[in-house]
Amino acid sequence: MAAAAQAWHRANQGAGARTLDLLKKELAALRR
């Protein structure tokens, strides 16, 4: 159970980081 929760949490953090990265790229494209 704990291992699954940790894996889920790690996956969530990765997804959040990817989303932020995509948002930054979108903003950079809009500024051009």
The pLDDT tens digits of the residues spanning 1-32 come to 799 889 888 888 888 888 989 999 999 999 98
pLDDT on residue 30 = 92
Which amino acid is present at 23?
L
Which amino acid is present at 16?
G
pLDDT on residue 29 = 94
Task: With residue 5 as reference, give the H or E element that holds it.
Answer: helix 2-31
pLDDT on residue 32 = 81
